[in-house]
Amino acid sequence: MDILKFMRLKIKMFFLFGWGKQTRKYLSEQEFELCRYCHKSKLKLVEITSWATIFFIPIIPYKTKYLLACGNCECSYELSDELVDRIRDKDEGDDFI
């Protein structure tokens, strides 16, 4: 192919970007107090990560939050990073208080 023809060739590409894809990861086997709404299930520590995507594939995490979530009624309470660190330390054998 002639180099001039190659330079005139217009290559068309498109990318499908997105955001808001979330993944949920249970961080602790430890169960906490009973749910305040349903009183049936204990709360577990959950990490929710939001991702930027390309062609529906998660590529870049842009936001992470931590929750205590009920497995029964889906109720959740957002936690601060400091409290999450204290809970993780307790899982490793350190005193929580």
The ranges assigned to domains in the chain are 16-91
* Burial label, 66 (beta-carbon count in 10 A; 0-12, 13-18, 19+): buried
State the burial class of residue 8 (Cβ atoms within 10 Å of its Cβ: 0-12, 13-18, 19+): exposed
List the pLDDT tens digit at each of the 97 positions of the chain.
566 666 666 666 666 778 778 888 887 766 778 888 888 878 888 899 999 988 888 889 999 999 888 888 888 889 888 888 887 777 666 444 4
